[in-house]
Structure 1
Amino acid sequence: MGQYFATVARGLEALAAQELEQLGAHSVEPGFCGAAFEGDLTLLYRVNLWARLPFRILMKLHEFPCHDAKDLYRGIQTLDWSKYLTPDLTLAVNATGKNEQLNHTHFTALQVKNAIVDQQQENFGERSDVETQEPDVQINVHIDRDLCTVSLDSSGNSLHRRGYRPAVGAAPLKESLAAALIQLSGWQPEQMFYDPLCGSGTLPLEASLKALNIAPGLFRERFGFETWPGFDSSLLEQLIQEAEANQRDTLPAPIWGSDGDEAVIDQAITNAEKCGVSDHVWFSQIDLAEVVAPANSGVLFCNPPYGERLGRDSNLAGFYKLLGDVLKQRFKGWTAFVLSGNKELSQSIGLKSSQRFAVYNGSLPCQLMKYELY
């Protein structure tokens, strides 16, 4: 059994733990900006392929008391690195956290790299090269008070970069956050889903991947673990084939996105083609003032501009008031979820929310507000 840690955006730890349990993880413990769990190699591959919320899945190798640079060097050298890294493979070290003595992550990372390559030189007479962009083995060290945790990053590039979205609007929502908001809302694929301010389409696209049971990891070029010694390519191939076999052919209910800006709708359509759902999701250019409910009931989702991103002088309060009017007058029988990073603006909607969830969009504290429209 391996010990793993899934890193997630702040505030999503409990949701991520729930997702990991659904994927078959054992001993799941939410922590700060992530969740620890246990499982075998199959689970490690499966979580990378299927999890919609995490950024990276770390495999824990070792934990040791660590006050200063000497402790760090010695602790790293107690591991037999030949199991994880042969001299022909490239490496990179990413350090996070600090304590009184080790208060510079760049220095910490350098010290770890030195300890590893010194061991290689001694054992093999040669060493791994450092490759910061796409290393074969990405090592992660975390200093928390007097404890150092050493892990391997099994994901490679952050998992939120699904690979289907080269086209990004002005203020894109991370795919992982979009998936988290959808999970938080309790939306079920049997309900119609509509985003009238969809930008380059992230919310409707994540909703359709979920509704069609498409593994988000299928669009990635590679995972970090594929260049590890002992990588089981037939196991990954089998998991990919199972994932492809379990996809649904049709959406249980329509998923729509619209936006006033024609250019971003073109991007959304390109992104839908990239993830193979362009036959399922419907995107169209419609100004907010023209939006009407496409069905008697459903779930409306939107992430309106917060102020920073549409330019200072745009009349955003008026825009939020319009959004409130459209919801009130044209979406009776629907439930609406609005992500807002600006309290004053969200009051301009003029509706009373029935529930609020605190989430972070990057470093910005936001609220996902739920409105029951009758």
Structure 2
Amino acid sequence: MAEYFLTVARGLEPLAATELASLGAEAITPEFCGVAFEGNRALLYRVNLWSRLGFRLLVRLATGPCGDADDLYQTVQQIDWRPHLPPDHTLAVDATGKNRRLNHSHFTALQVKNAIVDQQRQHWGERSDIDSQHPDVRVNVHIRGDRAMISLDSSGHSLHRRGYRHAVGAAPLKESLAAALVTWSGWSGDMPLIDPLCGSGTLPLEASLKALNIAPGLLREQFGFETWPDFDAPLWQQQIQDAKASRKPDLETIIWGCDRDPDVIQQASDNAQRCGLEGQIEFFEQELSELVAPADNGVILCNPPYGERLGQGEDLGQFYHLLGEVLKQRFKGWTAFVLSGNKALAQHIGLKSAQRIPVYNGSLPCQWMKYELY
């Protein structure tokens, strides 16, 4: 059994713990911006393939003192790097966190790199080349106080980058956050769903991927572990085949997304095509003021502008008032969920929320607000 750590956005730790349990993880411990757990290599591959909420899956190698650069060097040197990094494999080091003496990520990463390649020279007489963009092995060092956690990054690029979203709007919602919002809504794919402000389509797409039980990692080209010395190709292929076999063929209901901008509707349609969902989701151009409910009941998910990135030239208070009026007058029998990072603007919706879940969109504190529309 190996020790793993899945990094997630702040506030998603409990959801991620539940997700990991469903994938077969053991000894699950939520921590700040991540979840520690244990499992075998098959689980490592499965979590990378299936996690809708995670950023990076780290394999913990060691934790040790890092009061200064010498301490950190010794902590890294005590790891036997031979099974993980032969000199014909390229290397990159990422550093996060800091303390009083190690407060510059580039310097910290350099100390870790030096410790690794010095050990390689001692064992083999040669060392790995550095490739910061596409390394065979990516090492992660995280400093918290006077302790450093040294890990291997099994994911490569962040897991939230599914691979389908080549085109995004001006204020894109991360796919992992969109997946969390869908989960919090309780929507299970059995009733109609619409995003009236869909942008490049992330919320409807993540809802569809979940409802069809499509592993989000199937859309990616490569994971970090595929270039590791101990990569088990047959085991990985089995995971992929199992994931493909578990996909449902068709949605049980209709999913719509609309926006007033024809360019972003085209982006959403292109993204759906890359997901293989072009025949399952309907994206269309529509002004919010002209929108009518496409069914008698269902779920609305939306992420309106809140003044951070979009709409500074508009009267956003008036826009939120319009959103509230459209929901109240035209969507009776529906349940709406609205992500807002601006409490003053949210008040203009003019509806009493039945539930508010605190969540972070990047570094911005937001609320995922539920409205029962009678």
If the length of structure 2 is used for normalisation, what is the TM-score? 0.99
Name the structure 2 match of 1:369: 369
* Aligned mates of 2:311, 2:349 — CA distance in 1: 20
1:2 alignment partner AA? A
1:87-129, CA deviations, whole angstroms, 9 ceiling, x for partnerless residues? 0111111111122222222111100000000111111111001
* Aligned mates of 2:11, 2:224 — CA distance in 1: 26
SS at structure 1 position matched to 2:106: helix
* Aligned mates of 1:2, 1:88 — CA distance in 2: 25
The sequence identity of aligned pairs, in percent, is: 66
SS at structure 2 position matched to 1:199: coil
- Identify if the C-alpha distance between structure 1 residues 131 and 3 changes in structure 2 by more than 3 Å, giving closer, same or farther: same
Name the structure 2 match of 1:197: 197
Deviation at 1:315, TM superposition (A): 1.3
* Aligned mates of 1:271, 1:17 — CA distance in 2: 29
**Gapped regions of structure 1 (runs ≥ 5):** none
Q: Does 1:106 align with 2:91?
A: no
Q: Does 1:342 align with 2:333?
A: no
SS at structure 2 position matched to 1:263: helix
Deviation at 1:313, TM superposition (A): 2.5
* Aligned mates of 1:103, 1:207 — CA distance in 2: 40
1:21-75, CA deviations, whole angstroms, 9 ceiling, x for partnerless residues? 1111111111000100110000000000001000000000111123111111111
Name the structure 2 match of 1:173: 173
2:350 alignment partner AA? G
Q: Does 1:251 align with 2:251?
A: yes
Deviation at 1:293, TM superposition (A): 1.0
SS at structure 1 position matched to 2:92: strand
2:28 alignment partner AA? V
* Aligned mates of 1:15, 1:341 — CA distance in 2: 21
Structure 1, 74-83 or 198-207: larger mean CA deviation: 74-83
SS at structure 2 position matched to 1:81: coil
- Identify if the C-alpha distance between structure 1 residues 310 and 98 changes in structure 2 by more than 3 Å, giving closer, same or farther: closer
Moved over 3 A (4+): none
Name the structure 2 match of 1:164: 164
Where do 1:17-36 residues align within 5 Å?
17-36=17-36
* Aligned mates of 1:289, 1:282 — CA distance in 2: 19
* Aligned mates of 1:365, 1:169 — CA distance in 2: 21
Where do 1:1-374 residues align within 5 Å?
1-374=1-374
* Aligned mates of 1:98, 1:344 — CA distance in 2: 36
- Is the contact between residue 359 and residue 368 of structure 2 (CA under 8 Å) also seen in structure 1? yes
1:172-231, CA deviations, whole angstroms, 9 ceiling, x for partnerless residues? 100000001111111111121110100000000000000111000001110000011110
* Aligned mates of 1:324, 1:221 — CA distance in 2: 41
RMSD: 0.8
* Aligned mates of 2:283, 2:103 — CA distance in 1: 49
* Aligned mates of 1:292, 1:22 — CA distance in 2: 38
Deviation at 1:310, TM superposition (A): 2.9
- Is the contact between residue 171 and residue 310 of structure 2 (CA under 8 Å) also seen in structure 1? no
* Aligned mates of 1:14, 1:232 — CA distance in 2: 31
Deviation at 1:324, TM superposition (A): 0.2
* Aligned mates of 1:185, 1:91 — CA distance in 2: 41
- Number of residue pairs matched? 374
Deviation at 1:308, TM superposition (A): 2.9
* Aligned mates of 2:205, 2:85 — CA distance in 1: 38
* Aligned mates of 1:227, 1:306 — CA distance in 2: 42
If the length of structure 1 is used for normalisation, what is the TM-score? 0.99
* Aligned mates of 1:203, 1:312 — CA distance in 2: 23
1:166 alignment partner AA? H
1:143-198, CA deviations, whole angstroms, 9 ceiling, x for partnerless residues? 11121111000000000000000011111100000001111111111121110100
1:289-324, CA deviations, whole angstroms, 9 ceiling, x for partnerless residues? 111111111110000011133342211111111100
2:142 alignment partner AA? H
* Aligned mates of 2:172, 2:258 — CA distance in 1: 15
Structure 1, 92-101 or 50-59: larger mean CA deviation: 92-101
**Gapped regions of structure 2 (runs ≥ 5):** none
1:253 alignment partner AA? T
SS at structure 2 position matched to 1:55: strand
* Aligned mates of 1:334, 1:80 — CA distance in 2: 58
1:168 alignment partner AA? V
* Aligned mates of 1:131, 1:310 — CA distance in 2: 37
